[in-house]
Structure 1
């Protein structure tokens, strides 16, 4: 599990945001990063290996309530999804690995939503028009929070995603049951989702 980040109240707000986002930007990660950006800028992301870390029920951490505005302009609260197994995917339209995993995520969403599975995207440091075009292209059937400045991502600091893309699987109590750093596939993620759905 990642160490706890110093609470934002202990440092100026801008420094707290910059520090928490450090792990997502290659400027803080040395050479282990790929260049990309929503507007040609020097935003970069760490390349994860796609490995999945699963957490036993006794070791799972909950999250503070995550709120934000969806790409459609409607308010979104993660707490509204409690009682469902929820997959939270951090993505951006400028991220090539995100495009690669998008069909697998949509397939899992469609196969299990009748069993109580919900999906929520977190669109990270992106342009809204580009993000909407991405959703149309990949026929994304679940909502995403628009996180242009990275502040929504801070709410996940107990188990930070650390790369774009990253994916969290939350159990029905809203606790983190599994984490994927980097792009995933149907073959890797679907069994984990099915396992959490089968929990009593």
Structure 2
């Protein structure tokens, strides 16, 4: 597999590191702490960098030697079904942290729907984590944007804090897990189909 350089979207400035490894490490360090709600429900505790991640977008690919195993992730979906990330081991899984109240989430929803439509037939699985939301608004969001993959309902944010050092501080945040259940790529802020589709395809082509 060819080396993929970090993709930077033009919608918002992000500080550039001296190397991919440094940039990725910076993102993971940035992720420690309290979740920033898309421009924030906890403004006083947010760093400017975390707020910037919610406004723009930065996408990173991690080489296999730099990947961390995904912590336990399970819960109940908006439709009342139990889901456990452990049962998805062996598949590439795209995890999107979102909320119906989040303007950037609405911006990226059509992009995610397109990504799912194009890659799910290839065996890629999608899972949302709906945070700080109510079911009525969340289900309306899914209907309006044609989202058909399941989402864990996480109104108090406990599910995402289970990610520990990988916990997102910006909404939306998207992870791509490789077939071994490790975080192979992540996007902070609203992603685009054009920029994120090649990342998913490259992870899917990797051998377990």
Fold shared by both chains (TM-score > 0.5): yes
What SS does the aligned partner of 2:166 have?
coil
Instruction: Name the residue aligned to 2:46.
Output: 29
- The 1:178–1:110 alpha-carbon spacing in structure 2 relative to 1, beyond 3 Å, is same
Instruction: Name the residue aligned to 2:85.
Output: 78
Q: Please tell me the root mean square deviation across aligned C-alpha atoms, in Å.
A: 2.2
What SS does the aligned partner of 1:153 have?
helix
TM-score (norm 1): 0.81
Q: 2-side partners of 1:33 and 1:83: how far apart?
A: 32
1:96-111 aligned at under 5 Å gives the runs 96-111=103-118
Instruction: Name the residue aligned to 1:51.
Output: 58
CA deviations on 1:119-158 (whole Å, 9 max, x unpaired) are 0000011111100110111110100001100100012223
Q: 2-side partners of 1:27 and 1:75: how far apart?
A: 35
Instruction: Name the residue aligned to 2:163.
Output: 156
Q: CA deviation at 1:31?
A: 6.1
Q: Given that residues 130 and 154 in structure 2 are in contact (C-alpha distance below 8 angstroms), is that contact kept between their aligned partners in structure 1? A: yes
1:1-200 aligned at under 5 Å gives the runs 1=25, 2-3=28-29, 20-24=33-37, 25-29=42-46, 47-200=54-207
CA deviations on 1:97-124 (whole Å, 9 max, x unpaired) are 1011111111111111121100000001
Gaps of 5+ in 2: 1-24
Q: Given that residues 175 and 187 in structure 2 are in contact (C-alpha distance below 8 angstroms), is that contact kept between their aligned partners in structure 1? A: yes
TM-score (norm 2): 0.78
Q: 1-side partners of 2:49 and 2:140: how far apart?
A: 29
Q: 1-side partners of 2:174 and 2:147: how far apart?
A: 15
Q: 2-side partners of 1:33 and 1:3: how far apart?
A: 11
- The 1:129–1:46 alpha-carbon spacing in structure 2 relative to 1, beyond 3 Å, is farther
What SS does the aligned partner of 1:137 have?
helix
Q: 1-side partners of 2:101 and 2:181: how far apart?
A: 29
Q: 2-side partners of 1:130 and 1:48: how far apart?
A: 22
- The 1:123–1:66 alpha-carbon spacing in structure 2 relative to 1, beyond 3 Å, is same
